[in-house]
């Protein structure tokens, strides 16, 4: 017969003095209940708790383990494994908070003994999607896709900074507000939207608006809008705006808009070709300067052809005055009009005087050189007029000698006429 009974005590609790432990739902120790239990107040259990159900929930979402401890103990959750591994002492895995080390350990426990400090024999991997805050401290190697990555001591740290000491840091794209460093070595282009301040830059190509650096070494193209640097070394330098540098070494320097005072300021410029509308520099070293416009200087223009120091010369031979006069007599001075389609726009259609370079070359080859026009590449002949001067001087000397001879002959002739008159 089944009896539905209920005990109710409003004041005094129910005390059952039997101290037998419960081992299952059929062996309930001092009290076995066939139904559920609803408890409205806090419940204290002095022994261990075993739950055989598959789901355990807590309505307030907080599980407090080891509340109000009276001594220093480790705390955590231990999982008994289905696959027994007694030999390797890996029967249990756990998430343990170490009171002594003040850290969480995820790994295999050496035993499940209920003691104050639990020993974790070996650690287990932790798989996460993202780590967005805090520090990552590694005592071992870094793995990527299961393969060891950047092993050894490539990463070092000082205070809150992390330094990469050896090897390479490779990325497809790097976006940063500020980059400051000693050396920046790139195998591809460097694009910076703001200001880049470094000690040295070594790269193949540079395309930037603002750069402040000690030295820029570029093997390819430098396309710069505003640069302040100690030295610039590049294959081709395209300067669309301000460049301030101690020295500029370039195969070709091109000012796409203007290269002028306040825009290109350098102590030394070394280049094969310099194309500029206007130029201000302390010293300019170049094999050729090609200008479609005018070259204007407030001081003197000194070229090698104007140097005449005897210390630079050998095999010095006088030009015979007779030869000089014959050469000058062979020159054909002409007047002419420049064609209307020549590359020098300021000369188009204007009248001028001079010589024909090809005719001068036949008489004095040293006076004629060649010039390659920078846009079309066509080679034209030009005259070095200063080399005509020695022949003009020699011709004048010859004429002066002839004049003296004539004067002497005339004087003698006059004396002879006077003598005839006296007779």
- What span, in angstroms and rounded, lies between the C-alpha atoms of 224 and 261? 17
Query: Which residue's structure tokens are 């830059």?
Result: 201
Q: Of the ranges 126-135, 291-300, 375-384, which is most confident?
A: 375-384
- What span, in angstroms and rounded, lies between the C-alpha atoms of 108 and 73? 18
Cα–Cα distance list, 192 to 160, 177, 224, 256 (Å) = 26, 9, 11, 20
The pLDDT of residue 84 is 66
Domains, the chain, ordered by start? 75-123 (no CATH), 137-170 (no CATH), 181-301 (no CATH), 312-392 (1.10.10.10)
Among 160-164, 200-204, 241-245, 338-342, where is mean pLDDT lowest? Answer: 160-164
- Which has the closest alpha carbon to 221: 235, 242, 232, 233? 235
**Residues written for the chain:** 423
Tell me: pLDDT of 392 over 60: yes
At residue 39's C-alpha, the angle toward residues 37 and 41, to 5°, is: 165
CB burial of residue 237 (10 Å; 0-12, 13-18, 19+): buried
The pLDDT of residue 77 is 82
Contact 82, 106 (CB under 8 A): no
pLDDT by residue (tens digit) across 258-291?
443 335 666 667 776 666 656 666 666 666 666 6
Cα–Cα distance list, 388 to 123, 208, 360, 384, 423 (Å) = 94, 49, 10, 8, 53
pLDDT by residue (tens digit) across 341-382?
998 888 999 999 999 999 999 999 999 999 888 778 889 999
Q: How confident is the model at residue 226 (pLDDT cuts 50, 70, 90)?
A: confident
The pLDDT of residue 383 is 94
Tell me: pLDDT of 156 over 70: no
Could you tell me whether strands 221-239 and 205-218 are parallel, antiparallel, or unpaired per DSSP bridges? parallel
The pLDDT of residue 257 is 45
pLDDT by residue (tens digit) across 40-89?
777 777 777 777 766 667 666 677 777 777 777 788 887 777 766 655 66
Contact 271, 252 (CB under 8 A): yes
CB burial of residue 34 (10 Å; 0-12, 13-18, 19+): exposed
- What span, in angstroms and rounded, lies between the C-alpha atoms of 212 and 230? 9
User: Going along 141-241, which residue ranges are E strands?
Assistant: 142-144, 147-149, 155-158, 161-164, 183-185, 189-197, 200-203, 205-218, 221-239
The pLDDT of residue 402 is 93
- What span, in angstroms and rounded, lies between the C-alpha atoms of 384 and 368? 6
Q: Which two tokens stand for residue 224?
A: 């710069």
> CB within 8 A of 306, min separation 6: which ones?
386
Mean pLDDT value across residues 369-397: 90
Q: How confident is the model at residue 8 (pLDDT cuts 50, 70, 90)?
A: low
- Which has the closest alpha carbon to 112: 126, 91, 128, 98? 91
Tell me: pLDDT of 153 over 60: no
Among 87-96, 131-140, 388-397, where is mean pLDDT lowest? Answer: 131-140
The pLDDT of residue 154 is 56
Q: pTM score > 0.85 for this model? A: no
Could you tell me whether strands 189-197 and 92-98 are parallel, antiparallel, or unpaired per DSSP bridges? unpaired
Q: Which two tokens stand for residue 249?
A: 């070494």
- Mean model confidence pLDDT for the chain: 75
Among 103-112, 183-192, 232-241, 349-358, where is mean pLDDT lowest? Answer: 183-192
């Amino acid at each position: 017969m089944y009896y539905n009974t209920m005990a109710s005590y409003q004041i005094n609790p129910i005390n059952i003095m039997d101290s037998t432990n419960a081992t299952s739902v059929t062996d309930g120790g001092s009290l076995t209940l066939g139904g559920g239990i609803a408890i409205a107040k806090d419940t204290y259990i002095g022994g261990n708790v075993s739950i055989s159900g598959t789901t355990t929930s807590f309505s307030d979402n907080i599980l407090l383990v080891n509340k109000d401890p009276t001594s220093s103990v480790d705390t955590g959750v231990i999982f008994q494994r289905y696959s027994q591994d007694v030999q390797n002492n890996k029967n249990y895995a756990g998430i343990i908070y170490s009171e002594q080390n003040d850290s969480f350990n995820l790994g295999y426990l050496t035993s499940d003994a209920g003691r104050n400090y639990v020993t974790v024999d070996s650690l287990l991997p932790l798989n996460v999607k993202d780590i967005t805050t805090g520090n990552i401290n590694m005592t071992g190697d870094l793995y990527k896709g299961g393969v060891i990555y950047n092993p050894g001591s490539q990463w070092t740290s000082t205070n809150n900074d992390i330094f990469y000491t050896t090897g390479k840091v490779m990325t497809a794209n790097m976006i940063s507000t500020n980059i400051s460093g000693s050396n920046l070595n790139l195998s591809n282009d460097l694009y910076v939207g703001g200001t880049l301040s470094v000690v040295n830059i070594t790269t193949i190509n540079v395309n930037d608006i603002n750069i402040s650096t000690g030295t820029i070494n570029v093997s390819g193209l430098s396309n710069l809008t505003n640069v302040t640097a100690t030295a610039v070394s590049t294959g081709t330098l395209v300067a669309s705006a301000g460049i301030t540098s101690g020295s500029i070494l370039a195969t070709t320097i091109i000012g796409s808009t203007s290269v002028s005072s306040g825009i290109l300021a350098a102590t030394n410029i070394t280049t094969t070709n310099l194309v500029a509308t206007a130029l201000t520099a302390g010293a300019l070293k170049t094999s050729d300067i090609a200008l479609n416009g005018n070259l204007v200087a407030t001081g003197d223009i000194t070229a090698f052809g104007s140097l005449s120091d005897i210390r630079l010369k050998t095999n010095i031979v006088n030009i015979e005055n007779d030869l000089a006069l014959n050469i000058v007599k062979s020159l054909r001075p002409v007047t002419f009009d420049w064609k209307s389609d020549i590359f020098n726009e300021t000369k188009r259609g204007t009248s001028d005087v001079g010589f024909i370079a090809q005719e001068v070359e036949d008489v004095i080859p040293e006076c004629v050189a060649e010039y390659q026009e920078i846009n079309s590449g066509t080679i034209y002949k030009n005259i070095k007029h200063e080399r005509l001067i020695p022949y003009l001087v020699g011709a004048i000397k010859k004429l002066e000698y002839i004049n003296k001879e004539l004067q002497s002959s005339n004087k003698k002739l006059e004396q002879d006429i006077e003598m005839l008159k006296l007779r």
